[in-house]
Amino acid sequence: MSQPQAEQIAPLLKALADPVRLRLMSMVASHKGGEACVCDLTDAFDLSQPTISHHLKVLHEVGLLDRSKRGVWVYYRARSEALASLAALIGSSECAP
């Protein structure tokens, strides 16, 4: 893996290293219709809505989630190209010893 590739992937892995964010990412990606709002996710956690929103914001800022506002709700969708890049970088033959 090249230095630029490592610098690109490190923030994504850092964001996903948090168990709450990893679960949120999985839940959003597998949610019906491929998108979810905070109201769809809060029941799965013993956390406040603002805390869930913060974690979703972190995932959005590193490029793992897209978001769109509809009225008072913000809907999140997994960025398939970011996930594909992450998988390709981790699984590339360049990473092999």
pLDDT digits (tens, 9 = 90+) for 30-45: 898 889 998 889 999 9
Tell which CATH architecture fits domain 3-92.
Answer: Orthogonal Bundle (1.10)
Rounded Cα–Cα distance for residues 61 and 11 (Å): 10
If we measure between CA atoms, which residue out of 82, 43, 38 comes closest to residue 57? 38
Per residue in 60-75, pLDDT (tens digit) is: 999 999 999 988 889 9
User: Residue 95: is its pLDDT beyond 60?
Assistant: no
Mean pLDDT of the chain: 86
For residue 50, give every residue at least 6 positions away whose Cβ sits within 8 Å of its Cβ, in sequence order, or none. Answer: none
pLDDT average, residue stretch 10-19: 90
The whole-model pTM stands at 0.82
Element (H or E) spanning 66, and its range? strand 65-70
Nearest 5°: the CA angle 48, 51, 56 is 125
Name the CA dihedral angle for 14, 15, 16, 22, rounded to a multiple of 10 degrees: 150
Distances from the Cα of 67 to the Cα of 4, 24, 35, 64, angstroms: 27, 14, 9, 10
